[in-house]
Structure 1
Amino acid sequence: MMFLVRMDVRIPHDLPATDVDAIKLREKNYSQDLQRSGKWQAIYRVVGEYANYSLFDVESNDELHTLLSGLPLFPYMEIHVTPLAQHPSSIR
């Protein structure tokens, strides 16, 4: 199942910088592991925002929820999920 996911990150300004740096490092490692596994197919930065669009290929809604809620930045994110289906005009 393919999903387009927009993630907007809103880290509280009063969170200590050392905590933020540690969370971001864990986030990078976690997301890169998911990319290597093929579950997280692509990630694109939204220009001028602390946000991204990502493409996930997972087995179920529940798997996507588990992966997203496992993100270290999850508590500081607003996430919008769009399920995708094959377009009948696609040549792929």
Structure 2
Amino acid sequence: MMFAVRMDVEIPHDLDPEIRADLVAREKTYCQERQESGEWVHIWRCVGQYANISVFDVADNEALHQVLWQLPLFPYMRIAVTPLAPHPSDLTANRGAP
């Protein structure tokens, strides 16, 4: 199943800088591991914001839930999930169709 996920990060300004740096480094590693696994298909930065819009390809809702809950920055995020389905006007989805 494909999902579009918007993640807005709100790390408290008074969080210890070492803890912040560790969280951000672990988040980057986790994100890249999920990309290598094929679950995290795309990630785009929202310009001028500490936010991203990502596309995930996972087995089901529960699989996405597990991926998101394991994000090191999860406690500092607002997350909006939109399930995706193929669009009938998508040229790549309809190649070979009569």
- RMSD (Å), alpha carbons: 0.5
CA distance in 2, matches of 1:55, 1:34: 11
Residue in structure 2 matched with residue 25 of structure 1 by the alignment: 25
Percent identical among aligned pairs is 58
Residue in structure 2 matched with residue 59 of structure 1 by the alignment: 59
TM-score normalised by structure 1 residue count: 0.98
AA partner of residue 30 (structure 1): Y
For the pair shown, the structure with the greater C-alpha radius of gyration is 2
CA distance in 2, matches of 1:41, 1:69: 18
In the alignment, does 2:88 pair up with 1:70?
Answer: no
Cα deviation for residue 91 of structure 1 reads 1.9
Cα deviation for residue 90 of structure 1 reads 1.2
Q: Which runs of 5+ in 1 are unaligned?
A: none
In the comparison of the two structures, how many residue pairs are matched? 92
Q: How does 1:75-86 map to 2 (within 5 A)?
A: 75-86=75-86
Runs of 4+ in 1 over 3 A off after TM superposition: none
CA distance in 1, matches of 2:42, 2:6: 12
Q: Which runs of 5+ in 2 are unaligned?
A: 93-98
Cα deviation for residue 89 of structure 1 reads 1.3
